[in-house]
Each structure stands twice: as C-alpha cells, then as structure tokens.
Copies of this chain bind each other. A is one copy, B any other.
Amino acid sequence: MNTDPASNPYPRQPRIDDAFGRILARCWDAGAAPWSAVEVIERDDGLIAANDASRYFTEPEHWSDLERWGWEQAAGRILDVGCGGGRHAVPWSALGHEVVGLEPSPEAVRVSRERGVEAVIGLVPSLPEGLGEFDTIALFGNNLGLLGGPAQAPEVLAALAVVARPGAQLIGSGMDPGDGGADHADYHAWNLRRGRARGQLRIRVRDGATTTPWFEYWLATPDELAATVAESAWTLEALERDPAGPGYIARLRR
C-alpha cells in the first residue's frame, strides 16, 4: 500500500443521478435476492453504511410487529409517500386498497409500476398536481424522516394537509435518535452546533459513479415530533413506541 498523505483530501464528487433507483432496480431485476444489490449511504460527516437493498422488498410478515400494525391501520384511498419499490403499496393493493405511490426516483417508480402500483414521480413538499385527495397519508419505512427537520417539517405537513380529506389520517414510522451512543454522539453534537436538530441527518445514496443529491432525513424524538405537529394543521392522535428498539409509529389526524 503506497500511501501519499499529500494526495487530494477532497476527491472528485460523483455525478448526481438516480443512484437510489439504480440500486433498487438492480435488486428487483435480480429477483430481490439478498445482497443482489448494496445500498451505500453516506452521511455528511463521512460516515458510510452498506445495506442489503433487498430490505426494500420484504413482505409484511418480515416487518417488525409495530410496523405491520401501523401498516394495517391504513384505510380508504392511500398516498404512499416515498413508496420506493412498492414494499408497502403492493400488499395494500393486494388487500384492495386504492394506493398512489409518490417517489422522486424514476427507476423506483418504474419498479413500483411493474409491480402494479400507480406510482408518480414527485417529492415532498412540492407535490405534483392532480393527485386528488386521500384518506390516509402513509410514511412507512421510517419515512417520517422525510419531514426533513424542524425548519422543513411545517412546509411538508402543510403540503400533505392540502391533499388530505377532512378527517384523514397521516400515519408513519420514525426513529428516536436517542443519545446517539458512541457512533453518533459526535454527529449529534455537530448538528446542534450548526443549528440543526440533533438527529437531523444529511445523507446521500451512492452507487458506482453516481449519487443522489444530499437530502435531509430527520430522526425526531417523540417530543420534537409532537412540537412540530402542534404548529401544523394536524393533531397528534397516537404515538406507539416499539418496545424492542428506537422505532415508533405516529398517527396524526387532519
């Protein structure tokens, strides 16, 4: 190993493209076999994680009890925010629900459509026109993280309220960042120093020569979530914590 400490501290940046969708599609095209594709996630402090992308295709019997319980609360016409490859939407469709999947990744939308899901390219808070109204706004798979952070969440919640029927529910799963433990305490402290929420992740997904843009993913504490919802058009109706881990399910009512 010939090391050269003087070599470029900042490498070239990967090309911005649909890295997440490329990974998802590669996994799906390989029959969603375990480790047929690897999702590499980079955090803006340099932390890197490599996950089995087949987790985006698991079926309800392999989810946590809490996630499955939350998923079963969906009723009426459903907007699946960040639907990915259809993990939640496909079994909802199988139960006869009407589902629209919303997903910024063109390749993930293609996969969802191949699986029979009515999926639309788009993201929060700038929802596409013509979605109609929904009885359930769903953010499963930790997609409460898409609230983005204390500064972004009001706009996201307002945009979702616009497509919510009176009395509609917003239900989804999130994760308490806890104290961060050894691996994340420094990141939490850095976040606080730069005026961000403790568990506000700035991450991107990398694949080959490509990357997604950096995006915000908020691991809110239940208290932080409650405070954000209190300022919105929604009411926090229930928050169920997973007894076995940091996850929780929140249900909001319009």
Residue numbers of A with Cβ under 8 A of B are: 1-5, 7-15, 34-35, 38, 40, 42-50, 52, 82, 104, 123-125, 146, 148-149, 152, 156, 183, 202, 206-209, 211-216
- Shortest beta-carbon distance, A127 to chain B, in Å? 13
Number of copies: 2
Further pairs besides A4-B213, A11-B46: 10, Cβ < 8 Å? A1-B215, A3-B213, A11-B214, A14-B45, A14-B48, A34-B35, A35-B35, A35-B52, A40-B40, A40-B50
Closest 8 CB pairs of A and B: A14-B46, A38-B50, A2-B148, A3-B213, A11-B44, A1-B215, A35-B35, A12-B45
- Residue in B45, B46, B214 whose CB lies within 8 Å of A4: B214
**In contact, A42 and B11 (Cβ under 8 angstroms):** yes
**In contact, B209 and A183 (Cβ under 8 angstroms):** yes
Which residue of chain B lies nearest to A3 when distances are taken between CB atoms in the complex?
B213
Q: Which residues of B contact A52 (CB under 8 A)?
A: 35
**In contact, A209 and B11 (Cβ under 8 angstroms):** no
Query: Can you name 19 A-B pairs with beta carbons within 8 Å?
Result: A1-B82, A2-B148, A2-B149, A2-B156, A3-B214, A7-B214, A8-B214, A11-B45, A12-B46, A14-B45, A14-B48, A34-B35, A38-B38, A40-B48, A40-B50, A46-B206, A46-B211, A49-B208, A183-B208
